[in-house]
Structures are given as C-alpha cells and as structure tokens.
Chain A
Amino acid sequence: MVEKGRKLITRREFIRIAGITATSLAANTLPAASPTKNTAPPSQQLLSSTGKAPRPWWVKSVEKPTVEIDWDQLQRFDSRKTMRSSGFAAFIGQDEYDHLLRVAEESEKQRIINHTPGYTLKDQALNAAQGLGARGARSFLGPQNAQTPHERGVAPWSGSPEEASRMLRVAMRHFGAATIGFVELNEQTRKLIYTHDPDGKELVFQDTDQASETATRRIIPNKAKWAIVYTVQMSIETVKRAPTAIAEQTTLLSYSRGRDIQEKTQEFLRGLGYQCLGEATSNALAIAPALGVMAGLGELSRLNRMITPEFGPMVRMFKMITDLPLVPDQPIDAGIFDFCKSCKKCAEACPSSALSLSDEPSWETEGPWSNPGHKAFFENSVNCRTYMTEKAGTNCSICFAVCPFSKKNKVWLHSWIKAGVAKLPFLDGFLRSMDDAFSYGAQKDPEQWWWQNLPEYGIDTEQTLRED
C-alpha cells in the first residue's frame, strides 16, 4: 500500500516476512542430512585431529615462547636445589630449618586455640585430609597392573600420531585433566628434565627398550621422546582465601587429582602397549612450568609459574614421558608475559618481597635455586619459603590470588579484557588499575567459604568448553 509516496507495510505482510526469515534461519542451523564423523555442537567440537580444544581467537601459536631462552646456556637442573624439597634446609641450615618447623607447629596450635579465621580446627583438619591424597605414593614406572596387549594376545595399539594425540587428550580429560599438551624431547627440550629427582635418584637417558628403576637411578629409554604435560584446576574461590589453610587445601586437592590422573594415564598407555613414565614423587621428573610453556599451555609470568589463558595461574602442573608417538604442540603468545612487565600486582602483594619488582625480566638469577638460561623475573625463593613456613603456616599463594588473570568466565567483559591484554598492550596499565578498583584481588572471608554453594572440587569443569 502506498500513502503520500511512501510504501506502507501491512500487518499481514509483516508476519509473512517474519515467518520466512525465521524459517530460513532455523533451516541453516539444522545438521546435515548425511551423518558425519563429528556431529557434536560447534562449541564442543575438537578443533583439530590432534584433539586440541578450541581456544580464544586472541591466543596465537608461535615458534618461540614469549620467554627468551638461551638453549646453549641452559643445562639440566637438579631438583634437590629447589626450595620444594631438601633444598630449603640446605640453604638456610638444618638448625634454622628445624627452628622454623617448631615455630610453625606452635603457631598452628595457637591459631586453632584463638579460632583464627582460615586456621581453625576444621580448616586444619580439612587441609590435613587433602594432604593425605596429595602425598600418597606415586610411581615412575606406574602401577603396572593393567593388562598389556601382549597379555591379551593381541598387537599393541597402532595409529597415527594425530590419532594418538586425540585419544590421549580425550582420555586424560576424562581422568580429570584440564588442559593437556605434548613436547617432543630433543637436544634442547631434554634439558628441561631434571638430573636428579627430589628423592635423590638420578634420571638417565639410555638406549634401551624398557624403562627401569634401580636404587640410585631411573632409566628413561631414548625412544621415550614425548613429554605429556597437563594441568589440574584449582578452585579460584578457595585460593582467594590465601594464605590460610582453606586456600592451601585446594592446592593439595589438585596434587591429589594430578597423582590420580598420572596413575590412570600410565595404566591406560600400558594397556595400549606403551610406556608412560611419571613423577616418582611430588614435583619430580622435569621443570613443570618450562614444559608447560613449551607445550603451549600458557606463558611464564612474574610469579615464575605458568599462567594459562583459560584459568590464569589457578592450575597445578604435572608431567610424564612416553614412547607413544604424539604430535608436539607449539608455545603460545596471549600477551600474558608482556602484561606482567607493567602489572607487578603479585610482587607488590607478596608479604616476603620474594617476587621481582623489575620492569623487565633478567638473565641473572637470584640464587642457585633457579635455573639460568632463560630471561625471567627470578624470585628469592628463600624469602618465599621462609614466609610460608614461619608466618603463613601454609603454601601462602597470595600471588596466585591477586593475579588479574585469576578470573572465572561468567562475565563477558573478562573475556574481552583478556583479548585486549593480548592485542592492545598499551591498555595494560589501565586494566591493572581497574582490577584494583573492582577489588578482584582482595582476600575473601575464610569463614564464609564454609557457607558457599560451590561446585564439586570448587571448580567449573566446563570452563574450557565455552569459547571466549
């Protein structure tokens, strides 16, 4: 109908047009008539044949990691020099170490008596219970219980490295791993394997068919050329109670789950006819953040742990070595290491001043507990460990809690901010200020944690299924 030279639309015409539009849109979303191999909804589809989950568009794969590495200078490192194991007592002296332990024990008792929030009897009991799982026995060679193909009278599994990678990723996700990456052990990346495990056994590469273990050595066959590195989520909501016992127990829970995933993966690969060499004790075998960075799970950061695009630093990392041929992954650049240069929130919040406040990373280490050969924000691990033992009575984790990347992903804006960090580095300073203004790093009430309706393990296991 035309009125005064303008075409008017009738109600009937409008409804007709709307119906045609809606039908066209609906038809385009219907699945294809013929069945395909992969019919999962787009958000749950595996992006590649190697089983890698979709990643946000602003995470790009790169040839070299964002942390500079001098592979000629880098050497294999002795894990006994780190502050996690016997290294701490070696650096400060056994007498001082014993003194700190006595102080810690007395402080723990006093906090229970004083009903200090986060350190009450129920908090400590929860922490101790989680610790049982975390410190449980684990094995370099694996439980060795699963039936091998030979025992079944069949041939070992065979397939392409792509198929193997997808199969292993899916299996490990089902075991509970958050993200999984693979690194091929070549002349350079072998340097990320420790010389000695925390229990003192030497890790030796040999031209042999089967891995083995003696009283003093763990033998890794040269043909075991693929490192499997994986993350286990920690509960962001729980770590935000750092440095209390409430926060520590989510770390221990992650170690417990990591150990469980290792055992199951070892048995899974044994069942396929392959070897899988795991951590014999906690934090053994290799430098976890280094392998994680090389596998593209995240980037190195100011707090000297790996920060992931998905979970920030709220993960614990574990590794294994296998002779199942896998497709190696590449490092990533998501603007994280760059953001750390201007942010410094973890270093400013660190109560022991252990973290570096430098504007730029350095080749110079702070002490023999760090492995030279990469350009990083090296920390004073003695200060860190002393504070943990003497003052916090826990593994602290304040740096994890205040990190701006420690975010859940329900708020759309957080995803776009991460994209901004990756693509618009001139906004880094402003974004750090906004993080402060919105109080994201502030410690939360430990007692309130016992009233919160959190998911199982306190984590969102669907976080990586939702694309940013």
Chain B
Amino acid sequence: MDNDDYRLIRFMRRPWYEWAAWLLWVFLEILFAQAAIASSKEFEPRAATLFWLMFGVLLLGGITSYIIRRDRLL
C-alpha cells in the first residue's frame, strides 16, 4: 500500500537456507575484496589478481543465480 505518508517494503518469501546462502555469498565477497585490496598493499600482485578473479566469478554467479531465481518465482 503506497500513499503520501507510508512506503511499503516487501521482502520475497525465501526459505531460511536461501537467506543463509546469500549471507555466505556477501561474506565471501567482502572477504575476497578485502584480500585483493590488502594483497595489493602488501605488494603481492599475483595474489591480488587471484582474489579479484575469485571475487568476480562469485559476483557473476550471484547475479546469475538471483536473476534465474527471480524469473522462476515470478
């Protein structure tokens, strides 16, 4: 219900394990990004590259998964 005084925020129902998976995904993305940035600061370019690669692959996987599940649920 939207009117001048209120906004409505809706969360799609998901099973608990799906929320847990997304939480894990966010955690890993933060971890890999931090490792990539810190590896650069530690003058470890190969490690930084690998961590950015892992970050990117996981990001693509997460986006793909979100889109597929969203289309299936709609």
**Bound Cα distance A85, B51 (Å):** 45
Of A8, A413, A444, the most chain B CB neighbours within 10 A belong to A413
- Interface residues as binary, A1-32 with B (CB distance below 8 Å gives 1, 0 otherwise): 10100001011000000000000000000000
- Interface residues as binary, B7-28 with A (CB distance below 8 Å gives 1, 0 otherwise): 1100000000000000000000
> Which residues of chain B come closer than 8 Å to A411, judged between CB atoms?
34-35, 38-39, 42, 47
CB distance from B1 to the nearest CB of A (A): 6
> Which residues of chain A come closer than 8 Å to B6, judged between CB atoms?
1, 8, 10-11
**Bound Cα distance A452, B44 (Å):** 12
Instruction: Tell me the interface secondary structure of chain A in the complex.
Output: loop
> Which residues of chain A come closer than 8 Å to B50, judged between CB atoms?
437-438
Among A3, A11, A412, A439, contact of B38 (Cβ-Cβ < 8 Å): A412
Among A1, A3, A8, A439, contact of B46 (Cβ-Cβ < 8 Å): A439
B43 contacts A452, CB within 8 Å? yes
B43 contacts A439, CB within 8 Å? no
B42 contacts A410, CB within 8 Å? yes
B46 contacts A412, CB within 8 Å? no
B72 interface hit (Cβ, 8 Å): no
- Interface residues as binary, A234-270 with B (CB distance below 8 Å gives 1, 0 otherwise): 0001000000000000000000000000000000000
Among B35, B41, B43, B46, contact of A413 (Cβ-Cβ < 8 Å): B35
A97 interface hit (Cβ, 8 Å): no
**Bound Cα distance A11, B47 (Å):** 45
A408 interface hit (Cβ, 8 Å): yes
CB distance from A404 to the nearest CB of B (A): 13
> Which residues of chain B come closer than 8 Å to A438, judged between CB atoms?
44, 46-47, 50
- Interface residues as binary, A389-411 with B (CB distance below 8 Å gives 1, 0 otherwise): 00000000000000000001011
CB distance from B17 to the nearest CB of A (A): 24
A440 contacts B35, CB within 8 Å? no
CB distance from B14 to the nearest CB of A (A): 18
> Which residues of chain B come closer than 8 Å to A439, judged between CB atoms?
44, 46-47
A412 contacts B47, CB within 8 Å? no
Of B8, B31, B42, B46, the most chain A CB neighbours within 10 A belong to B42
Give the number of residues in A that approach B within 8 Å (Cβ atoms): 18
> Which residues of chain B come closer than 8 Å to A437, judged between CB atoms?
50
Among A3, A410, A412, A442, contact of B31 (Cβ-Cβ < 8 Å): A412
Known A10-B6, A439-B47, A440-B47; contact A408-B42, beta-carbon cutoff 8 A: yes
> Which residues of chain A come closer than 8 Å to B1, judged between CB atoms?
3
- Which B residues, 41 to 65, have Cβ-Cβ distances below 8 Å to chain A? 41-44, 46-47, 50
Known A3-B1, A8-B6, A10-B6; contact A410-B38, beta-carbon cutoff 8 A: yes
> Which residues of chain A come closer than 8 Å to B35, judged between CB atoms?
411-413
> Which residues of chain A come closer than 8 Å to B47, judged between CB atoms?
411, 438-440
> Which residues of chain A come closer than 8 Å to B42, judged between CB atoms?
408, 410-411
> Which residues of chain A come closer than 8 Å to B31, judged between CB atoms?
412-413
> Which residues of chain B come closer than 8 Å to A442, judged between CB atoms?
46
B43 contacts A412, CB within 8 Å? no
**Bound Cα distance A8, B42 (Å):** 49
Known A3-B1, A10-B6; contact A412-B34, beta-carbon cutoff 8 A: yes
**Bound Cα distance A89, B30 (Å):** 56
- Interface residues as binary, A403-440 with B (CB distance below 8 Å gives 1, 0 otherwise): 00000101111000000000000000000000001111
CB distance from B58 to the nearest CB of A (A): 14
CB distance from A13 to the nearest CB of B (A): 11
> Which residues of chain B come closer than 8 Å to A444, judged between CB atoms?
43
**Bound Cα distance A413, B47 (Å):** 12
**Bound Cα distance A442, B5 (Å):** 62
CB distance from A265 to the nearest CB of B (A): 32
**Bound Cα distance A1, B8 (Å):** 12
**Bound Cα distance A412, B38 (Å):** 8
**Bound Cα distance A410, B39 (Å):** 8
> Which residues of chain A come closer than 8 Å to B34, judged between CB atoms?
411-413
Interface residues of A (CB under 8 A from B): 1, 3, 8, 10-11, 237, 408, 410-413, 437-440, 442, 444, 452
Interface residues of B (CB under 8 A from A): 1, 5-8, 31, 34-35, 38-39, 41-44, 46-47, 50
Beyond A438-B47, A442-B46, list 4 extra A-B contacts (CB 8 Å): A11-B6, A11-B7, A410-B39, A439-B46
Q: Which 6 A-B pairs have the closest CB atoms?
A: A410-B38, A439-B46, A411-B38, A438-B47, A408-B42, A411-B35
Sample 18 A-B pairs with CB under 8 A, ordered by A number: A8-B6, A237-B43, A410-B39, A410-B41, A411-B35, A411-B38, A412-B31, A412-B34, A412-B38, A413-B31, A413-B34, A413-B35, A437-B50, A438-B44, A439-B44, A439-B46, A440-B44, A452-B43
